[in-house]
Amino acid sequence: MKQPYLLLTPGPLSTTPTVKEAMQIDYCTWDDDYRNITETIRQQILTLAQANPQTYTTVLLQGSGSYGVEATIGTAVPRSGAVLMIAINGAYGHRMSDIAEYYGIQHVDVVFDESEAVDPLQIEAVLTAHPEVTHFATVHSETTTGILNPIEQLMPLMKARGIVTIIDAMSSLGGVPIDVDQLDCDYLVSSANKCVQGVPGFAFIIAKQTTLSQTANNARSLCLDLYDQWQAMSKQPGKWRFTSPTHVVHAFAQALNELETEGGVTPRYRRYQANQTCLSNGMQALGFELVIDSAVQGPIITSFKYPNEQFDFNDFYQFIKERGFVIYPGKVSDIPSFRIGTIGDVTTSDIQRLLAVISDYQKLNR
């Protein structure tokens, strides 16, 4: 079956034919072959994140990336005597705040404009004003706009205060170089269907073993108990507590192998950067303005303002879709905008074809 269109979105994204083909195998969750695949994945994730296996472990969790974030917050933060600070500059930071509300976790939200990166100086000032903070969470690649937040500057502030750290690296791990050992974070969360270029079905959490070992009985949920999931995978290597998405796991194993064949995270990052630069320059040449400053723009997804008040996004979207591309509506609350992703099985030639389609749309709508 021919792919009807190319996904220019931040995940799910367009995958290679060989990743799709990997899902054609049926596995038993108890079988040694499948359990070996699971264990191999857990170690490969640590390698791509530059996380020492003596210090960190990988916990796989059924569900979307948000399940992983919720499981991490719900397990990492004790039921009493803890305060979570959340640095927010988009929808996914706000989602962390919603999770904290659902679980009755006391939290301090530091909210920035959606078009601005998290400011370490402001975070430091709020930390000084709130010495009761015990945990900190933020999003690395905030796909509301495409901003890449400065986690390298934020983590030392937390480490100096003994604060437990949670990074949502959903849309960056595998596509942006991250050195977990150097960051010295406690938890880093990502998902199968992002920059590793797998398909949706499970999240994974890189956790510092000494930190995770202190979280027994913290979880507010049976299925989202990160500690118990880790214990199950430690006692019976490769075995998930509950039924795992076997086809998705095998596709992810293939995607990890293809990431290695590409040369690793840095070459993929360069490809994504080239895609984003080509897109950004081309769209601006066509008259579209960027929502955020290029200095904080990541290579994952780019937001563009509507060119005028008469712009009909749905008409624009359908025109592009009929010609082989799917993009995203905007998520910025106060700026009419749309978003175009530059990750997945995508190259600059694909972006150039998209730009030609958008140029054709403009000619027809003058």
201, 248 contact by CB (below 8 A): yes
Residue 344: the pLDDT is 96
Q: Which two tokens stand for residue 332?
A: 């910025």
276, 297 contact by CB (below 8 A): yes
Tell me whether the CATH fold assigned to 6-10+264-364 matches the one assigned to 27-260: no
**Closest to 151 (Cα-Cα) out of 202, 186, 199, 197:** 186
306: CB partners within 8 A, 6+ apart = 313, 336, 337, 338
Distance, CA of 65 to CA of 190 (rounded, Å) = 6
SS (H, E, C) 93-156: HHHHHHHHHHCCCCEEEEECCCCCCCCHHHHHHHHHHCCCCCEEEEECEECCCCEECCHHHHHH
Name residues of the chain where pLDDT drops below 50: none
* Whether CATH 3.40.640.10 fits 27-260: yes
Identity of the amino acid at 183: L
192: CB partners within 8 A, 6+ apart = 198, 199, 200, 201, 202, 203, 204, 248, 251, 252, 255
Q: Which residues pair with 84 in a beta bridge?
A: 107, 135
**Cα end-to-end distance, the chain, whole Å:** 36
Q: Which CATH class is domain 6-10+264-364?
A: alpha beta
Q: Which two tokens stand for residue 266?
A: 């840095």
Beta-carbon-side half-sphere exposure of residue 94 (alpha carbons within 13 Å): 12
Distances (CA, A) of 215 to 142, 188, 227: 27, 16, 6
Domain residues of the chain, as ranges? Answer: 6-10+264-364, 27-260
Distance, CA of 105 to CA of 103 (rounded, Å) = 5
Q: What are phi and psi of 207, to 5 degrees?
A: -130, 140
61, 203 contact by CB (below 8 A): yes
Q: Which two tokens stand for residue 160?
A: 């100096």
pLDDT in tens, 164-186: 999 999 999 999 999 999 999 99
